[in-house]
């Protein structure tokens, strides 16, 4: 539970007054976690899969190469 508390505290540091006027705290936390996944985690997964699984080769799926 300690890791979750640390992540929550880190996200709450960016919950400042202009944002607080627009979004509730829970929605802001949800958006921050989703933004991290979309901007950081997805490109890293794509790069790893492309480099190590596909290996710069054409991959025939039948309807697209």
- Residue-wise pLDDT for 39-54, tens only, equals 888 899 989 888 888 7
Quick check: 1 pLDDT over 80? no
- Residue-wise pLDDT for 2-58, tens only, equals 998 998 999 999 999 999 999 999 999 999 988 888 888 889 998 988 888 877 777
pLDDT at 13: 93
Q: What is the DSSP track for the chain?
A: -HHHHHHHHHHHHT--HHHHHHS-HHHHHHHHHHHHIIIIIHHHHHHHIIIIIITT-----SS--
What whole-number distance in Å separates Cα of residue 51 and Cα of residue 65?
17
- Enter the tokens of residue 10: 């880190």
* pTM of the model as a whole: 0.60
pLDDT at 22: 94
């Amino acid at each position: 539970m300690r890791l979750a508390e640390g992540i929550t505290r880190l996200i709450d540091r960016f919950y400042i007054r202009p944002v607080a006027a627009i979004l509730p705290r829970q929605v802001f936390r949800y958006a921050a976690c989703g933004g991290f996944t979309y901007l950081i985690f997805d490109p890293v997964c794509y790069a790893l899969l492309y480099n190590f699984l596909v290996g710069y080769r054409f991959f025939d799926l039948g309807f697209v190469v």
